[in-house]
């Protein structure tokens, strides 16, 4: 009888140990398997490697954290690939593909040292390391972006974090970029990807109902990549906001969420940087930024300002970087900086009678026309040139409009200024105003010159009738409504809405 009791006790102990291991160790294994399955059909070897690298010390909590670190390093600091490069062969006088084995071994050794240091910080010091990336290209690479999205979704669903919706385990430090008080609006390219059929199909209907085919074409071109709007001081921007942090161009940027005291401090730093500029470039901090990657679904509506509610839609954003800190990158006095964006201004277009507010409210994209230049906004001379070119483009369009009208008997067109890159247009000041003349002031200065005075009655810059509908603080909503209209057209034609 005693032997049966001992056997039963042994079986219970083994079963308890088995279920203990299953309960604590299976979820992180499933996490790795699930994330790798998007790249491999049966990721057995890489899953076993992740388990081996994470096995010591053999503690459930530490095992989970190491498995997550393994995946995060794989996403942001992947193993170097051995790839051939073209070299000119001196004997044959032709280019040939060759492997540089010495350079690859050196790169691989450095990668292994860096990864061992990251695991060492977690294993020995029990402190999550910081993963460094050079710039936002690594985060915005399409495969990396999809990998981050799948990983964050899996961590949340497998409940591997104490948070209801999980972030990255490690903080991410982006070494180089520009932090700007701007909000990039989603463009047609980002919303519809490679599926242009809904855009082209809806263009036919909209161009017939809009002011003109030219107006609708220019609007679509402006929205193809999406412009940036300024962060304003009005109630639409109260609470947490996201700033733009990019490298090279506004469309190669990530969203940095900042709130409370950190928000005020960061905006103050941007104002100080703008005041300290000797020129009139757009306000920006050349800095490294550290934060954690979060899925947009982690945030409730009250956890981001009203003007940026669309960012909470996981269909629109793969991740948001929660701000932890930044460090300004020093530049030599003679250095020239480079960061490009649309320099733009938006107008309502009409004729003798301006369009009514209800008419504009229903389908605003049929009644507005943007003018834009693509310019280097962190270089004073380039930014000033782009603003001047933009203002001259507005004047020339109005002056030459009679020659391009489909019906020359129509009354001359008129423009009503609404908003611009450096002016929210809602009546409140923007949080970080640039030095120098604004886009609106540049246009008004040209209109005051004798040769352009005949156009003053056709380009109105002092009418705020459309501020509540079309200011920069409301453009995100306008763009979302346009996307819904395009998708609605597609659905009516028997197509599934784009995702």
Could you report the per-residue pLDDT of 476-491, keeping only the tens digit for each? 999 999 988 888 876 6
pLDDT level of residue 499 (50, 70, 90 thresholds) = very low
- Distances from the Cα of 5 to the Cα of 11, 296, 457, 465, angstroms: 10, 54, 100, 87
CA-closest candidate to residue 321, choices 430, 122, 170, 474: 170
Residue 233 has pLDDT above 80, yes or no: yes
φ/ψ (deg, to 5) at 121: -60, -35
pLDDT level of residue 448 (50, 70, 90 thresholds) = very high
Whether 422 and 430 have beta carbons less than 8 Å apart is answered as yes
Residue 466 has pLDDT above 90, yes or no: yes
Looking at mean pLDDT, say which of 96-110, 311-325, 411-425 comes out highest.
411-425
Looking at mean pLDDT, say which of 117-121, 125-129, 241-245, 494-498 comes out highest.
241-245
Look at 203 and 241; give whichever has higher pLDDT.
Answer: 241
Position 429 scores a pLDDT of 94
3-state helix, strand, coil in the chain (%, to 5): 50, 20, 35
Residue 334, sorted as left (phi over 0), alpha (psi -120 to 50) or beta, turns out to be alpha
The percentage of the chain sitting over the pLDDT mark of 70, rounded to a whole number, equals: 92
Whether 344 and 226 have beta carbons less than 8 Å apart is answered as no
Q: Write down the mean pLDDT value for the chain.
A: 89
Q: Is 194 helix (H, G, I), strand (E, B) or coil?
A: coil
pLDDT, one tens digit per residue, over 56-67 is 887 878 888 999
Residue 41 has pLDDT above 80, yes or no: no
Residue 269 has pLDDT above 70, yes or no: yes
Range 458-468 average pLDDT: 95
- Distances from the Cα of 14 to the Cα of 4, 337, 463, angstroms: 15, 65, 79
The strand pairing partners of 470, in sequence order, are none
Q: How far is CA 493 from the centre of its chain?
A: 31
CB atoms within 10 A of CB 213: 15
Position 27 scores a pLDDT of 81
Q: Half-sphere exposure of residue 134, counting CA atoms within 13 Å on the CB side?
A: 4
Position 17 scores a pLDDT of 55
Position 358 scores a pLDDT of 94
Q: Poorest-confidence range of 194-198, 216-220, 262-266, 463-467?
A: 194-198
Look at 33 and 286; give whichever has higher pLDDT.
Answer: 286
Position 321 scores a pLDDT of 97
Whether 279 and 435 have beta carbons less than 8 Å apart is answered as yes
Which is it for the CA torsion 258, 264, 269, 274, positive or negative? Answer: positive
CA separation for the pair 309, 251 (Å, rounded)? 19
Per DSSP bridges, beta strands 320-328 and 253-258 are: parallel
pLDDT, one tens digit per residue, over 342-359 is 999 999 999 988 999 999
Which is it for the CA torsion 129, 313, 315, 176, positive or negative? Answer: negative
pLDDT level of residue 204 (50, 70, 90 thresholds) = confident
CA separation for the pair 18, 14 (Å, rounded)? 6
Range 363-376 average pLDDT: 97
Position 382 scores a pLDDT of 96
Whether 455 and 392 have beta carbons less than 8 Å apart is answered as no
Position 191 scores a pLDDT of 74
Range 212-223 average pLDDT: 92
Whether 246 and 136 have beta carbons less than 8 Å apart is answered as yes
pLDDT, one tens digit per residue, over 125-173 is 888 999 999 999 999 998 899 999 999 988 888 876 655 457 999 999 9
Look at 425 and 85; give whichever has higher pLDDT.
Answer: 425
Whether 175 and 132 have beta carbons less than 8 Å apart is answered as yes
Position 90 scores a pLDDT of 84
CA separation for the pair 309, 477 (Å, rounded)? 9
User: Residue for token digits 């390391």?
Assistant: 129
pTM of the predicted model as reported, rounded to 2 decimal places: 0.89
Residue 43 has pLDDT above 70, yes or no: yes
Work out the burial of residue 119: count CB atoms within 10 Å of its CB; fewer than 13 is exposed, 13-18 middle, 19 or more buried: middle
Residue 5 has pLDDT above 90, yes or no: no
Position 207 scores a pLDDT of 85
- Distances from the Cα of 179 to the Cα of 42, 233, 267, 333, 334, angstroms: 41, 18, 10, 19, 21
Position 405 scores a pLDDT of 78
Look at 477 and 12; give whichever has higher pLDDT.
Answer: 477
Position 151 scores a pLDDT of 93
């Amino acid at each position: 009888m005693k032997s049966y009791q001992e056997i039963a006790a042994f079986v219970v102990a083994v079963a308890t140990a088995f279920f203990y291991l299953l309960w604590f160790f299976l979820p992180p294994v499933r996490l790795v398997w699930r994330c790798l399955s998007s790249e491999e059909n049966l990721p057995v070897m890489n899953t076993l490697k992740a388990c081996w690298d994470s096995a010591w010390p053999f503690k459930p909590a530490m095992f989970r954290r190491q498995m997550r670190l393994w995946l995060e390093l794989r996403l942001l600091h992947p193993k170097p690939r051995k790839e051939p490069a073209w070299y000119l062969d001196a004997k044959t006088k032709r280019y040939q593909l060759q492997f540089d084995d010495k350079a690859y071994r050196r790169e691989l050794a450095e990668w292994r040292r860096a990864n061992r240091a990251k695991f060492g910080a977690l294993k020995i010091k029990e402190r999550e390391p910081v993963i460094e990336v050079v710039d936002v290209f690594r985060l915005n690479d399409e495969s990396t972006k999809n990998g981050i999205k799948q990983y964050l979704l899996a961590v949340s669903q497998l409940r591997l974090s104490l948070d209801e919706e999980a972030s990255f385990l490690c903080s991410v430090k982006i070494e180089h970029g520009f932090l700007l008080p701007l909000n990039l609006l989603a463009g047609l390219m980002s919303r519809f990807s490679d599926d242009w059929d809904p855009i082209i199909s809806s263009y036919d209907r909209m161009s017939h109902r809009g002011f003109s085919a030219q107006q609708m074409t220019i609007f679509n071109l402006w929205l193809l990549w999406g412009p940036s709007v300024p962060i304003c001081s009005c109630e639409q921007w109260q609470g947490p906001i996201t700033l733009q942090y990019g490298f090279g161009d506004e469309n190669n940027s990530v969203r940095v969420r900042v709130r409370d005291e950190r928000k005020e401090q960061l905006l103050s730093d941007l104002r100080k940087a703008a005041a300290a500029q000797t020129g009139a470039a757009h306000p920006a901090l050349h800095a490294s930024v550290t934060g954690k990657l979060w899925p947009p679904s982690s945030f409730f509506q009250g956890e981001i300002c009203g003007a940026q509610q669309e960012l909470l839609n996981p269909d629109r954003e793969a991740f948001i970087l929660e701000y932890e800190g930044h460090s300004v990158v020093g530049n030599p006095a003679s250095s020239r900086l480079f960061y490009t964006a649309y320099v733009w201004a938006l107008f309502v277009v009409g004729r003798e009678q301006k369009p009514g507010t209800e008419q504009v409210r229903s389908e605003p994209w049929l009644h507005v026309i943007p003018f834009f230049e693509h310019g280097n906004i962190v270089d004073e001379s380039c930014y000033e040139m782009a603003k001047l070119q933009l203002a001259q483009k507005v004047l020339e369009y109005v002056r030459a409009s009679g020659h391009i009208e489909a019906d020359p008997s129509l009354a001359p067109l008129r423009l009503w200024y609404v908003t611009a890159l450096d002016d929210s247009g809602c009546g409140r000041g923007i949080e970080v105003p640039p030095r120098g003349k604004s886009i609106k002031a540049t246009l008004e200065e040209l209109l005051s010159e004798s040769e352009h005075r005949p156009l003053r009655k056709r380009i109105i810059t002092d009418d705020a009738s459309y501020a509540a509908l079309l200011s920069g603080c409301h453009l995100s909503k306008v763009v979302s409504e346009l996307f819904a209209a395009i998708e609605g057209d597609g659905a009516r034609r028997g197509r599934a809405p784009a995702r």
